[in-house]
Structure 1
Amino acid sequence: MLVRWLLAAIHLLAFGLALASILRRTRGLRRCTSTEALPQIFSADNGWGISAVLLIVTGAVRAFGGFEKGADYYLHEPLFHVKMGALVLILLLEIAPMMALLRWRLAVRRGDVPDLTGAPKYASIGVWQTVLLVVMVFAATGMARGVGIGMFGD
């Protein structure tokens, strides 16, 4: 019981960290016109990455590690599919910003000035990731309250 509670608490806190981090990174990218903005963007990006790892690990352990309702329940729960679909979209959308931020970090380490022209595009991607993260929260809370059961033709 204690492990289930701790996993759930960490999972929920990771959603909070994810939301704060992606909003902070998006705001930084939206305002990014020089390398002065990069430390804040890199810090927010670190939080976004940490939250992603926490969400994926605690979610997988909860769903498939025997701590919650079990894999059979989740795999037959429509809102779980909505949540996982949103996660997959977030991860796919993350490829371009992640690669750019890696290039920017390397350029800064070498003492070069990175090409920041893609920052507005990556900020727009962050907005969509934020929306999808909120979708994940609604799907998760719906599952926790049995909303999806019977609602989608089950």
Structure 2
Amino acid sequence: MFDYLQLRWKLWNLARSWDGIEGANNARMEEAKKRKAARDERYEMDQYAAQDYFEYQNDVRAAHSRFLVSKASQLIVPIPPREDKTMWDGDQMGRTSLTELGINTVRSAVRAEQKARLEMFLMWVPGAVGILGTLIGLAAILMGKK
């Protein structure tokens, strides 16, 4: 649970920083349009904005990857081999993170394992409730005979 909260906090911080970066990029672009900047200059600014967006997307994927790999390790779920280029991707900063296919594959495996563990627990609940009800009924009968 704490890992999930850390992930949500990291994603929230990334979204906030992206909002600031996007706002600054939009303001620079509007300022360039007002002063009638050259088309090449506006194109270059647009390229920098796109690069910022892709860096943001890589940060989000890296956060999800760290969370899912950690969760898979805790549950002893197999993680795709790092050599598999369909599951792992590298970015400009040298980080390797799961691709969308990798994220979906690991997420599915983690959810299946969590479901299996929950079903194992829930299998015992009806029996435990039945035994508890029997004990309460027996105690009521024994107390009523006094």
TM-score over 0.5 for the pair: no
Q: Point out the structure with the larger strand share.
A: 2
Which has the larger Rg?
2
Q: Which has the higher contact order (CA 8 A, sep 6+)?
A: 1
Instruction: Tell me the TM-score normalized by structure 1.
Output: 0.32
Instruction: Tell me the TM-score normalized by structure 2.
Output: 0.34
